[in-house]
Amino acid sequence: MSSSFFRPSAMHRFVLLALMLVFTDASAHDPSAWGGLFRSRDEGATWLPVDAGLFIGGAMAIAISPVDPDHLLYATDTRLLRSRNGGRDWITEAGGTFIGPTLSVAFGHDGVLAVASSSAGIFRTTDGATWLRAKAPEGAAPAHAIVASSEPDVFYLAGPQGVFVSRDGGNAWEKSGTDMPASAPAALAVGGGSPVPLASVIGGSLWTSRDGGEHWARVTGPWSARGVETVGFGGAARDALWVVADDRVLRSDDGGATWRRIGEPLGAGNGAVRSIVTGTDGKAIVATTHRGILRSADGGATWVRLEGVLPIHLESAPLVPDPADARTLYAGFSLTPYAEVFRRALEGSNVLSRIDPVNLAGGAAFLLLLLIGGTIGARRLAHRKN
């Protein structure tokens, strides 16, 4: 084959130049203008992107293997990704199964078993390669969150109609208790110990379970009618309960019977905090909000909105500590509000379903004009040479 086969013609060069002009702006964005996943190794003081170059619109969830901290599963608004080297390289996971937004993902105890949810349902893998559909009742999918229990093969999920539990490695699911509202939880947290303590926020109300989800009770506290925004377990006392309400952090060491306010107001605004994680000594507190990440290094006495490489103008929701190193945190950001992504998933929509005939016609017309322009330009260049 002669080398002249690879020599671009004048028309090829013209079209290539046009394509570069069209797409250069889109690919040259500052990464901080996108959503995506970030990691901190110092309890949230400094952050670096984990998915640089992928241009992720929305980081929905991250799962860290409990046996290998470099093994990650990353749920995004377009697909599920896997990395085995701490996020330096990513591969698309089961592209034929996870089409459109993947909303939640979690590893099992062995670091191989995993469960994930998309708008198509709940899926599990037991070999790290093949994903099969789980037996999930109505109202379980799409799951906003999936959390592994401290008990082997037990998972909990926050679905559109409440909290659900699986006790067989994510294969079969059932409603967790019958004494809580059948509504989508805004937050779901699982503590350690046996029986496993659980906490969930539904419609601003805090619900807790002390028996692995068999029974739930509504918890009252020193907050206004606006209610609780988010909940988490952690701190020096592993099962200390932390909530954010009325722009304040509160802590309970007795399962919600009594509460004490921690530090000063966050300054996040009403209904803005999505997740909260506390350091082992209780001094470092990190919260994801509707506009970036807030952090306190002194137990809540002062709060700082983190900047640097973080896209502070975007909503942040997922906030996950490494199970092997509590100082390592992962946080996700999204261009599209998380509530909107969940709504589209609930309606069974994805990016492709939002392409209507007008968009298709406009795209076709643009390509046609580009082709005509390239042809005319090539002919003019050829005429000048002659």
Question: What are the tens digits of pLDDT across the range 27-48?
Answer: 344 545 689 999 999 999 999 9
Question: What are the tens digits of pLDDT across the range 333-352?
Answer: 999 999 999 999 998 744 43
Is the pLDDT at 384 greater than 70? The verdict is no
Is the pLDDT at 314 greater than 50? The verdict is yes
Question: What are the tens digits of pLDDT across the range 207-239?
Answer: 999 999 999 999 999 999 999 999 999 876 667
Top pLDDT among 248 and 268 is at 248
Question: What are the tens digits of pLDDT across the range 101-145?
Answer: 999 999 999 999 999 999 899 999 999 999 999 999 999 999 999
Going by C-alpha positions, the residue among 287, 279, 343 that lies closest to residue 315 is 287
| CA 309 to each of CA 125, 273, 296: distance values in angstroms, whole numbers, following the listed order | 34, 20, 18
Confidence of residue 52 (pLDDT cuts 50, 70, 90): confident
Residue 138 near residue 153, CB atoms below 8 Å: no
Phi first, then psi: what are they for 342, rounded to 5°? -65, -40
Rounded mean pLDDT, 196-208: 96
The answer to whether domain 34-354 has CATH 2.130.10.10 is yes
Top pLDDT among 168 and 19 is at 168
| CA 153 to each of CA 108, 115, 139, 165, 185: distance values in angstroms, whole numbers, following the listed order | 7, 11, 21, 10, 22
Q: What is the spatial distance between Cα 188 and Cα 202, in angstroms, rounded to a whole number?
A: 9
